[in-house]
Amino acid sequence: MLTKPWLTAVLALGMLVVTSPAGASEAATSRSITMSGEAEREVAPDRAQLALTVEVRQPTVDGARTEANRRIDSILRLLAELQISKPDIDSTALEVRPDFSWNPQTGAQRLQGYIVVRSVRFRLVDLDKLGAILERGMKAGANQISAPSFSHSRREVLLREVLSAATLDARRNAEAAAAGIGMKVGAAQRIEVIEEAGGGPFPMVGMVRAAAAPEASAEASYQPSLLTLKSRVRVVFDLLP
């Protein structure tokens, strides 16, 4: 359902503009009204993007690489078991850097070993599997998990619907204002999109759980919040007698 929970009472009420062409024998009068409108819709997401990352510190590069690869293989097996499509998985992210300790008294650095970081980024099209991925991903060896970024597969279509509703809201506001002075609203001269939003990272709810909670209960505790799609426009209409 489209809602306008905080539509302001005064919405850039109409501005009458009178113009007279230079040299015209009779003044040609043009009247217009400028009005804003907005619309909003909440939808449940059906897509998510996230990354499971492994960071390993070892005295040698080979040791860190071997351990990181072992954990990444375990994560990839988990994704295969959960039937995450291979084209939706990217496991190419790799970072290798030396691990130094610093002596604050002498300012000297000493090489302690190496850090190897590998990440598996993927798209999830079945959010019912999200809890299992997060919980089992940690057991598989991931020690960093990005906050899921949620979206909707029909996002662009839904945003256009919300945009259309916002322009209709602007016309209705203009008609209400024009009626107060005994006039009518004609065709739109210009439409300006002030704001359009409906994507990006969104928070999870229910992510905190007791350490002793059963595994099935823990997996079910991850629930995404609703996505808010909204649009706000400013429209200039002809104002008719």
Tell me which residue range forms the domain holding 89.
Answer: 47-151
Q: pLDDT per residue over 18-58, tens digit each? A: 333 444 333 344 799 999 999 999 999 999 999 999 999 99
Same domain, 55 and 108: yes
The Cα–Cα gap between 24 and 100 comes to 82
Same domain, 94 and 173: no
Span 137-164, average pLDDT: 95
Helix axes 61-81, 130-140, angle to 10 degrees: 150
Residues above pLDDT 70, as percent of the chain: 80
Residue 186 lies in a domain: yes
Q: With H, G, I as helix, E, B as strand and everything else as coil, classify residue 228.
A: strand
Same domain, 66 and 100: yes
Residue 222 lies in a domain: no
Same domain, 36 and 53: no
Same domain, 198 and 183: yes
Residue 138, C-beta contacts closer than 8 angstroms, at least 6 positions apart: 145
The Cα–Cα gap between 23 and 180 comes to 34
Residue 55 lies in a domain: yes
Residue 8 lies in a domain: no
pLDDT at 214: 59
Q: pLDDT-based confidence at 190, cuts 50/70/90?
A: very high
Residue 16 lies in a domain: no
Residue 161 lies in a domain: no
Same domain, 142 and 184: no
Nearest partner of 173 among 14, 1, 3, judged by Cα: 14
Same domain, 39 and 79: no
Same domain, 136 and 175: no
User: Residue 71 is inside which H or E element, if any?
Assistant: helix 61-81
Same domain, 99 and 190: no
Residue 88 lies in a domain: yes
Higher per-residue confidence, 80 vs 9: 80
Q: What is the CATH number of the domain that holds 70?
A: 3.30.70.2970
Same domain, 51 and 145: yes
- For 20, counting Cβ atoms within 10 Å of its Cβ (0-12 exposed, 13-18 middle, 19+ buried), the class is exposed
Q: pLDDT per residue over 101-138, tens digit each? A: 988 888 888 999 999 999 999 999 999 999 999 999 99
Same domain, 119 and 77: yes
Residue 51 lies in a domain: yes
Last residue of a domain, one of 103, 121, 151: 151
Same domain, 135 and 196: no
User: Residue 186 is inside which H or E element, if any?
Assistant: strand 184-197
CB 200 within 8 A of CB 132: no
Span 85-109, average pLDDT: 92
How many domains is the chain partitioned into structurally?
Answer: 2
Span 192-221, average pLDDT: 61
pLDDT at 173: 98
Higher per-residue confidence, 214 vs 230: 230
